[in-house]
Structure 1
């Protein structure tokens, strides 16, 4: 390979850990296929709590997770995964969604949980 070929060769893009998660969204549910865990799926109408969980494991592992919980099941997805933003856009429209907790989560580098929404919370 000549010098010009080496200089202008396209570099292989390295995948980030979040790229290995596959999120499916339908009118009825959200489903996440994890690279090393069972598939998680929850119907939109089953969601009773939405939170963000942060860890101290970044940047080599996902360290910000959106958690959708309800009816003894849940669905977790790392920030940066394909379609994460679409799921966030949907749930952030829930009445009473706490954007201040999202801001707190964005500045956290510790292991912490931030409650964003809870069904029938008064």
Structure 2
């Protein structure tokens, strides 16, 4: 069974072939949006959540509920302007909308 599970701990996507993509919110290092030229009616917008280890999860816009979007918007420095730019585009593009600030040693 394929599908996306989003909760306060992690985001998990189970693909049709049984493979699982997952990233914990606490491990989130970067968020990108990928758009495809297939839109506007095909699945053409995807959120790519990348964890600190490089593993991540792809969330189709169709699976992004309001709680998920609110969680993304609460990330410090989340770039709403780039999200808007991504949503109106109709070309194959990548947008980095958030990146965890580098850890500063004291």
TM-score (ref. length: structure 1): 0.72
Write the deviation string for residues 34-54 of structure 1: whole angstroms up to 9, x where unpaired: 335621110111110011100
Of residues 27, 31, 34, the one that matches 1:50 is 31
Task: Please give the root-mean-square deviation of Cα atoms over the aligned residues, in Å.
Answer: 2.0
- The runs of at least 4 consecutive aligned structure 1 residues that moved more than 4 Å come to none
Unmatched 5+ stretches in structure 1: 1-19
Report which of the two structures shows the higher radius of gyration computed on alpha carbons.
1
Q: Which structure: greater strand fraction? A: 2
TM-score (ref. length: structure 2): 0.82
Task: Single out whichever of 107-116 and 37-46 deviates more from structure 2.
Answer: 37-46
Is 1:80 aligned with 2:57? no
Number of residue pairs the alignment of both structures matches: 100
